[in-house]
Amino acid sequence: MAAAVRLRGLHKRFPRVHALRGIDLEIAEGEFFALLGPNGAGKTTLISILAGLTRATDGSVSIMGFDVARQYRQARRALGVVPQELVYDPFFTVRETLRLQSGYFGLRRNDAWIDELLANLGLADKADTYTRLLSGGMKRRVLVAQALVHKPPVIVLDEPTAGVDVELRQSLWHFIRRLNRDGHTILLTTHYLEEAETLCERVAMLKEGRLVALDRTENLLRGGGGRRLVLELDVTELPASLRPRLTGRDGARFILDLPDYGDLEAILASLRQAGVGVCDMALGQADLEEVFLKIMHGVGHDTPEQA
């Protein structure tokens, strides 16, 4: 499959900050991809370069095979960006804003799609309201609609759910998923990691301008601790035979590594053998947040465990 987004040896130096330090990344057409990283990691900078808002210091960037500098017209036509900053033009209503945005992309009669966008983003009754009068979350919805007026094959959302209520989060993701099913490639940044975990097939993690992880979501979850068994016992010490499996403690609970469910039987047998009673037991899996923290703080760093 062709690459929807391709970054090669990408560097960005600001006068004081080396914001991107050699990024190589390929996102396939039709992927639902998450770009994660702490504040200041370089996510927005990377997106700005995709969008042609910032110029790369070094390296090459293409969208749907079009170089963002040399073939900027095709590249920009193929890209829809929801910016992180909540921006709007105070002079125009929601519908005017969307009509203008369509016009910039050369679409003169786009009202059918605009209406569909408004309906899907819960903006239908705000169509004739000035954007400056909308609440923050509503403004964010308009930004999403603006990014989609030209039905771009590649959609980039820079923290689209910051400050957005639960209901819109749900309907927004429902809508974006539908677009993804229809073949649109989605690149998403978010600080809500459970969103990335449930939505995205593949995840890249960025730290201080470098890619520190890039894998399928399920692989990351497995690698980041994998399955585990949480036990609450009637004793305060874990039987010696199980100690090698211990990965952490959470109060009275022991957290054991459980790479394979087949090991469960053996663990229970060891407990019986030691004459230890089980008060409570739960199976679990490390979530993306834990994996994220682990990767960001370097492997082996102890992170607070949740039950």
Partner 1 sequence: MSGFRTLLYKEILRFWKVLVQTVGAPVLTALLYLLIFSHVLEEHVQVYPGVSYTAFLMPGLIMMSVLQNAFANSSSSLIQSKITGNIVFVLLPPLSYLEFFMAYLIAALVRGFTVGLGVLLVGLFFADIEMRYPLWILAFALSSGAVFACMGIMAGIWANQYDNLAAVQNFLIMPLTFLSGVFYSIHSLPDFWQGVSHFNPVFYMIDGFRYGFFGQGDVDPWLSLAVVTPFVVLLSGLTLMMLKSGYKLRH
Ligand X SMILES: Nc1ncnc2c1ncn2[C@@H]1O[C@H](COP(=O)(O)OP(=O)(O)OP(=O)(O)O)[C@@H](O)[C@H]1O
Q: Choose, by CB under 6 A, the member of 4, 7, 25, 43 that binds ligand X.
A: 43
CB of 202 to Mg ion, least distance (A): 20
| 36 is a site residue for ligand X (CB under 6 A) | no
Query: Which residues within the stretch 10-29 sit at the binding site for ligand X (CB under 6 A)?
Result: 14, 17, 19
Q: List the single partner that 19 binds among partner 1, ligand X, Mg ion, none, CB under 5 to 8 Å by kind.
A: ligand X
Q: List the single partner that 136 binds among Mg ion, ligand X, partner 1, none, CB under 5 to 8 Å by kind.
A: none
Residue 163: phi, psi to the nearest 5? 75, 20
Please give the C-alpha separations between residue 90 and each of 84, 87, 124, 168, in angstroms, as whole numbers.
18, 9, 19, 23
Q: List the single partner that 55 binds among partner 1, Mg ion, ligand X, none, CB under 5 to 8 Å by kind.
A: partner 1
Cross-strand partners of 211: 206
Annotate 78-91 with b (16+ C-beta within 10 A) or e (fewer): bbbbbbbeeebeee
| 192 is a site residue for ligand X (CB under 6 A) | no
CB of 219 to Mg ion, least distance (A): 25
Nearest to 288 by CA among 231, 211, 216: 216
Cross-strand partners of 172: none
Size of the site for ligand X (CB under 6 A): 12
- If the CB atoms of residues 54 and 74 are measured against ligand X, the closer one turns out to be 54
Q: How many helices (H) and strands (E) does the chain have?
A: 10, 14
Rg (CA), the chain: 23
Q: Choose, by CB under 5 A, the member of 57, 84, 241, 285 that binds Mg ion.
A: 84
- Residues of this chain that interact with partner 1 (CB under 8 A) are 14, 48, 51-55, 72-74, 76-77, 79, 81, 83, 85, 87-92, 96, 100-106, 108, 146
Mark out the alpha helices in the chain (DSSP H runs): 43-51, 72-77, 94-104, 111-120, 136-148, 166-181, 193-199, 217-223, 263-274, 288-296
- Which residues make up the interface to ligand X (CB under 6 A)? 14, 17, 19, 37, 39-45, 84
